[in-house]
């Protein structure tokens, strides 16, 4: 009797496990990492010298020749010291990365939740170089053993994807979040140039439009920080020549200068009150010695009236930088909300869910799809904070 009961329970447990595995597979929750072994010979390596990786879910049906390449975010390292601190983490080594990953939001595989891109070839490139995929230093210090090779990493992954069928793409998007969203802008024209001339190719930057902004001290800490990133990784050679030929090359890490000469259509998903930018561009800790902004940066509801006015002025800075960069281009797309958030395209709840944030009665996922397929022009700019009751809390991959 007990044997039968035990057997029955075992059968039930096995059934449950199988059902969970099937569900996980259906949700795209177990997409394995692919390591680019061929990158070793070209020196296209993560900070620690390990080869880079990506997750790839193949397209099907009408999406078989469509490609969405999304780059992971995760900040930057601007000095040898900060890069050493990243080197032995998943931000600097493929050896430390999780072996499987789930896809959702813009990468989601459910038709109802991602109708325009669900059956495309969808790729997430892992971020392990700390330079938004721009670095290229040949020498490796024998003491630190740091490899500054982000530009080579990007090219090695793209080359492998081209060989896997992307060279025949009919439609393609280069996208990314945060540091990956910046990379989507910096590499956009190059990406387009590697694909068939007949392909529809566009780029989508989520929380990657970091502005050359003024901080609460009246200075620009972000200018010196980005300048150090570019110097440490010797990034200039991988920044768009259309920008570096016209101004101080280090400033070409800022989207507002790069976008001015871009040829490829660009869509900006961003909050005008991006939480990373408020914390690190407007009120970086280094210029807030009395920590007067500590609570305000954590929750805008805790800002004083004076601080909130400064935050509103930052929105004005941000919108001006967007217009400086993209001008009145007929190919630009904008979805700029007033939520205190960072990186919003990677979650099903914010992309096209029942309760997703709306700007001008339009959800992000619909806006990007309509823009990509030229169904309508999309320029959605939200009213000032705190006007939008549909905001969903998101703050990731800073």
Q: Which residues are catalytic?
A: 178, 274, 342
Distance of CA 154 to the CA centre of its chain: 14
Terminus-to-terminus CA distance in the chain, angstroms?
Answer: 57
E-assigned strands of the chain? 31-35, 53-57, 66-71, 100-101, 121-125, 171-177, 200-206, 266-271, 333-337, 358-359, 362-363, 379-381
Residue 365 in contact with residue 353, Cβ under 8 Å? no
Residue 353: both structure tokens together:
């869910």
315 cis-preceded (ω within 30 degrees of 0):
no
Burial of 332 (0-12, 13-18, 19+ CB in 10 A): buried
Q: How far is CA 323 from the centre of its chain?
A: 21
Please give the Cα distance from 239 to 258 (Å, whole number). 9
Output phi, psi for 320, to 5 deg: -65, -40
Secondary structure of 253-293 in HEC code, one letter for each residue:
HCHHHHHHHCCCCEEEEEECCCHHHHHHHHCCHHHCCCCCC
Burial classification of residue 122, based on how many CB atoms lie within 10 Å of its CB (0-12 exposed, 13-18 middle, 19 or more buried): buried
As given in the structure block, the two tokens for residue 369 are 């799809």
**182 in Cβ contact with 285 (< 8 Å):** no
């Amino acid at each position: 009797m007990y044997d039968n009961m035990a057997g029955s329970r075992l059968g039930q447990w096995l059934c449950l496990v199988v059902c969970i595995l099937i569900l996980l597979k259906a949700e795209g929750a177990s997409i394995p990492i692919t390591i680019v072994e061929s990158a070793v010979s070209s020196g296209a390596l993560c900070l620690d010298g390990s080869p880079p990786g990506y997750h790839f879910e193949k397209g099907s049906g009408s999406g078989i020749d469509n490609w969405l390449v999304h780059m992971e975010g995760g900040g930057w390292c601007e000095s040898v010291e900060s890069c050493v601190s990243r080197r032995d983490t998943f931000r600097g080594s493929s050896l430390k990365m999780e072996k499987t990953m789930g896809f959702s939001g813009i990468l989601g595989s459910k038709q109802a939740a991602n109708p325009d891109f669900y059956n495309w070839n969808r790729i997430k490139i892992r971020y392990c170089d700390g330079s938004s995929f721009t670095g290229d230093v040949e020498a490796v210090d024998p003491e630190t053993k740091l490899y500054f090779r982000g530009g080579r990493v990007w090219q090695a992954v793209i080359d492998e994807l081209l060989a896997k069928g992307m060279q025949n793409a009919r439609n393609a998007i280069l996208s990314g979040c945060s540091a990956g969203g910046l990379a989507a802008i910096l590499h956009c024209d190059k990406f387009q140039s590697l694909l068939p001339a007949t392909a529809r190719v566009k780029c989508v930057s989520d929380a990657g439009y970091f502005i050359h902004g003024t901080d609460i001290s009246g200075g620009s800490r972000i200018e010196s920080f980005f300048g150090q990133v570019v110097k440490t990784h010797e990034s200039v050679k991988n920044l768009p020549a259309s920008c570096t030929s016209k101004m101080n090359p280090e400033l070409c890490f800022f989207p507002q200068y790069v976008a001015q000469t871009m040829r490829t259509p660009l869509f900006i998903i961003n909050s005008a009150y991006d939480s990373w930018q408020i914390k690190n561009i407007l009120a970086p800790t280094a210029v807030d010695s009395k920590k007067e902004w500590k609570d305000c940066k954590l929750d805008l509801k805790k800002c004083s009236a004076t601080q909130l006015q400064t935050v509103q002025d930052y929105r004005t800075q941000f919108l001006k930088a967007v217009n400086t960069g993209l001008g009145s281009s007929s190919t630009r797309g904008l979805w700029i909300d007033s939520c205190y958030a960072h990186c919003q395209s990677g979650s099903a709840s914010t992309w096209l869910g029942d309760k997703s944030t709306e700007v001008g009665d339009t959800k992000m996922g619909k806006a990007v799809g309509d823009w990509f397929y030229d169904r309508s022009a999309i320029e959605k700019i939200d009213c000032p904070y705190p006007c939008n009751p549909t905001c969903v809390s998101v703050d990731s991959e800073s």
